[in-house]
Amino acid sequence: MTDLKQHSFRRIFLIAFSSLGFIVSACSQQTAVNVAANADSSSKTLSSNQTTTNTNVIRLAYQKGGIIPISRQRGELERQLVAQNIKVEWSGPFDRCATLLNALNGNRADIGGCGDIPSISGIAAGQPLCIGSVQRPKSDALGNAILVRGDSPIRKPADLIGKKVAVNQGGAGEYLLLKVLEKENIPKEKVQRVYLSPNDAAPALYQGSVDAWAVWEPYISVAQLEHQARRITTTHPAPTYGIMVVRGDAAKENPATVKAALTALSQDGEWLNQHSDAAAEFMVKELKVSDAVAKQATKNRGPESYVFPTTEDISNLQKTADWLLEQKIIPQRVDIAAAVCPL
């Protein structure tokens, strides 16, 4: 097992698209990950120089959208890991983080991409998961939004008082709604939360069963471009992390294989950050959405860069976990530092 550069924290991780990430360098076999220019100098880049002597298996779970299905299509991750005697198996697609985390919990997968809110919720519920790598929040990203129908009289968050808003329970949608209400000084009890999966929430909004929907990409672009929905929020008041969630036993029993997979995923993301058109093309193939939806969703989400968490990342995630506990969204406190994978 190799150390991350300037390794200064305790290990274990978590994961999504909610959403939509991208991975593996096509022009280099180096394992160092390029971290965004504004990342602090203590950031840990993903690296893995160790190869295995026996063939290992890593099972990657993916949602409809996100980094992992893009890697599956592109093929570079699989080629890179095969060269390290690691066989890749794919599990999915899953419709949301909750079902993906259940697959990890049930030993049907080893790594999956998810958001920080459902990941923390899963750990709080006792699922044997850890945090492998993280995608830092982007304050100006448009990857989350509260949507209403095009003909709705709702124009701003205050107009949600007395209305029904579809959210995924304990997930990114519920977190977004509560943070927006908090920012606008609207008591959360004055807005009714309706717990629905994205597949159920979309028709509920279009047909008028709910008044609004707190959701993420690519559902936002589908709703806007194909169903004339519109935003009543722009940027997120509390941007969230993306997480590569790891099955706890996989991280303990085969950390070198897990690290190699996380490194390859991050490299794929860095490559696709430089090839946004290719990222959109992969989304079209994966999700069967239009070119317009894919291009807008890719732009809204912004660059995808996964790194091993620093002490600052752990502190930020701890604040989120503590807030979730205060809001009674999770049943017990989560020690984020203890939840980082021992890689």
Where do the domains of the chain lie? Answer: 56-138+240-339, 144-231
Domains 56-138+240-339 and 144-231 share a fold: yes
Element spanning 225, H or E: helix 219-227
Q: Is the pLDDT of residue 50 over 70?
A: no
Closest by Cα among 58, 65, 53 to 19: 65
Q: Is the pLDDT of residue 42 over 70?
A: no
- Residue position matching structure tokens 């509390």: 238
Q: What is the reported pLDDT for 4?
A: 34
Q: What tokens were used for 96?
A: 């949301």
Give residue 21's pLDDT band: very low, low, confident or very high (50, 70, 90): very low
Handedness of CA 308, 314, 316, 321 (dihedral sign): positive
Characterize 310-338 residue by residue with b for buried, 16 or more Cβ atoms within 10 angstroms of its Cβ, and e for exposed: beebbebbbebbebbbeeebbeeebebbe
Q: Is the pLDDT of residue 31 over 50?
A: no
Q: Is the pLDDT of residue 6 over 60?
A: no
Tell me which architecture the domain covering 144-231 has in CATH: 3-Layer(aba) Sandwich (3.40)
Closest by Cα among 112, 38, 32, 129 to 68: 112
Give residue 54's pLDDT band: very low, low, confident or very high (50, 70, 90): low
**Superfamily for the 56-138+240-339 domain:** Periplasmic binding protein-like II (3.40.190.10)
**Mean pLDDT in the chain?**
85
Q: What is the reported pLDDT for 61?
A: 96
**Count of beta carbons in the 10 Å neighbourhood of residue 202:** 20
Q: What tokens were used for 253?
A: 């029993």
Express each pLDDT in 232-260 by its tens digit. Answer: 998 889 889 999 999 999 999 999 999 99
